[in-house]
Amino acid sequence: MISASTSVSILMPSYNSALYLRAAIESALGQTWPNKEIIVVDDGSTDRSLSIAREFESRGVTVISQRNRGQSAAANRALKSAHGDYIKFFDADDLIHPELIAKQMARLENSDTAIASAEWGRFYNDELKTFQLSPERVWRDMEPTDWLVEAWSSARPMMQCALWLIPHKLIDRAGGWNERLSLINDFEFFTRVLCRAEQVRFASGAPVYYRSGRLGTLSKALTRRAVESALESALLGTGQLLSIRDDSPARRACANLFQDIIYTYYPDHNDLLRKAARRVEELGGSDLPPTGTRPFEQLRDIFGWKMAKRIQRAAYWVGYKPRPPFPGSLTKDANTA
């Protein structure tokens, strides 16, 4: 039986998160697991995020301020200061059920080679009454490579930070966050950690509340730097999996991720999309259809997916918000610049 003296570090990078940070910290403080530390790293915010975080120092929260270096660097700074036996990274605009860490710790049973996963669902803006669970086929105990192949098969893997509780020793073996990456940096990091784990153990009944509906995130994701990061993260992450498992299901799952990058960013950055297309071909092809919102799919059926994407992109700039790629990663790119 796991001891209540086992410690957990909750690590929270923050950049211009003033609207949501107080609720996120309260959510971390509200965890029923008794032995925990909370570390907030303010990544050069220009709003009130740092002063809000410092309001919680009297309640035991450690607050670190650094110049703006990006979410990956902020996560690494928090990790450097963490003393916990287990680590949970936590985005500064999300919420977690009070029992999440306790339930995940019970599943891990002092293992330093297994990772605990969790349920999740979306809520919109500030209204938890909009929350709905988003059941997935990976909501069960699995071998890590099976988890990755299953989660990637539809090219929409939820690999968001707060889902995972990870032994500190396992992160030490895998290494920290890749500071070259911005968009879908969590995809690369958690893939690398999972590829060094022996098991994923699922904890039910205590979800992650994933905030959706924030404005301005897709436009940030369309920048050249963001798309370069998405492609590099996909190349590195899929390379990790294929280095230990190179069978047909794994190759098809990886190809689908690259195909989704093509669907997502077309018609922009054609040179990067050609690199993704070459990788799809090298992996043996993709069976991923170009899906999206109902209006997109109606346009696709009439005009084909490429024209539908052009119409969708034009509509975005006048207020229509199409479905973002890689849930759990896109909106977090807006948190640290």
Contact 25, 60 (CB under 8 A): no
Per-domain boundaries in the chain: 8-212, 217-334
Q: Between 2.60.40.420, 3.90.550.10, 3.20.20.70, 1.10.760.10, what CATH number should domain 8-212 receive?
A: 3.90.550.10
Does the pLDDT value for residue 337 go beyond 70? no
Give residue for tokens 């963001």: 226
Contact 140, 201 (CB under 8 A): no
Does the pLDDT value for residue 330 go beyond 80? no
Q: What's 159's DSSP letter?
A: -
Contact 138, 151 (CB under 8 A): yes
d(CA 320, CA 193): 36
Question: CB-based contacts of 245: which residues, under 8 Å, 6+ apart?
Answer: 145, 149
pLDDT at 142: 98
Percent of the chain with pLDDT over 70: 91
d(CA 162, CA 64): 20
- For 221-272, what is each residue's pLDDT tens digit? 678 999 999 999 999 999 999 999 999 999 999 999 999 999 999 999 999 9
pLDDT at 227: 93
- For 181-195, what is each residue's pLDDT tens digit? 999 999 999 999 999
User: Which tokens in the block code for residue 158?
Assistant: 């939820």
Stronger pLDDT, 295 or 164, i.e. the higher one: 164
